[in-house]
Amino acid sequence: MTVHDFKGKVALVTGASRGIGRAVAVALGRGGASVAMAYAGNDAAAAEARALVEQAGAARAVLLKFDVSDPAACARAVDEVVAGLGGLHILVNNAGIALDQLVMRQKDEEWRRTLDVNLGGAFYLIRAAARPMMKARGGAIVNLTSVVGEMGNAGQAAYAATKAGLVGLTKSVARELASRNVRVNAVSPGFIDTDMTASLPEAARQKMAEMIPLGRLGSAEDVANAVAWLCSDQASYVTGEVLRVNGGMYM
């Protein structure tokens, strides 16, 4: 297992109470970062995740409960992290929802909510984080997009639209912030073995695996390893990229 050096760095990870977000927070904590773990609602899962990050070796691990679709809450969260932990060097926008429905049946409020959380949340946090990162003349931002945003999927028009939008956001902000040594990249996971896929029937999981050249679903750690690398100094010349972690499902 590769451990990147994040000593002296402060990270904010959204959707950090479980799944990919939790694995990312653990990976950053393992490198010695101070990690602010944002989550929306599950207090028990968040407390469990915080304990894992502390056990991994984080300098500090703090919980922030807020809705990323609220611009003011995002600004406050960044201010709290900078004031409480001494700066902000890493932002990982992982929080997201999937209100899946065929396009003809998608309700207006479902469409708007998906855009507000998945795309709006990333935008609001990037906007807030840009100032302290530019002032420090350095930083790393990673947005979690999806293979669905690249190839589409029936019944996921809203989700796919937001994830595709994150790619455009990533590339545009990468161009804006590069002169201040702030790198902005995206990671695009494929089918990942999480709580959501664990509840699927075995036949459905097998069908998913058959679509993947490597023949298996990915793990949250597979994605977290890619995110940690992009946040590290080893990726100091990488910006505006979309790193696929999908087992070859989409090339």
Mean pLDDT (the chain) is 96
Contact indicator for 88, 131 with CB cutoff of 8 Å: no
pTM above 0.95, yes or no: yes
Question: Measured between alpha carbons, how far is residue 167 from residues 59, 87, 90, 129, 131 in Å?
Answer: 32, 26, 18, 18, 21
What is the predicted pLDDT for the residue at 198? 76
DSSP state of 218: B
pLDDT at 90 over 90: yes
Establish whether 159 is a catalytic residue. Answer: yes
Flag whether pLDDT at 240 surpasses 90.
yes
As a whole number of angstroms, the distance between CA 121 and CA 199 comes to: 27
Does residue 118 carry a pLDDT above 80? yes
Other CB atoms within a 10 A radius of the CB of residue 226 amount to 22
The active-site residue out of 124, 159, 237, 250 is 159
Complete domains list, the chain, with CATH? 10-188+221-243 (3.40.50.720)
Q: How far apart are CA 87 and CA 30, in angstroms?
A: 19
Using one digit for the tens of pLDDT, what is the confidence trace for 162-210?
A: 999 999 999 999 999 999 999 999 999 999 998 767 777 888 888 889 9
Non-local (6+) Cβ contacts of 209 within 8 A are: 191, 215, 216, 217
Q: What is the pLDDT of residues 33-46, one digit of tens each?
A: 999 999 999 999 99
Structure letter (DSSP) for residue 100: -
Q: CA 165 to CA 150: how far, in whole Å? A: 10
pLDDT at site 200:
79
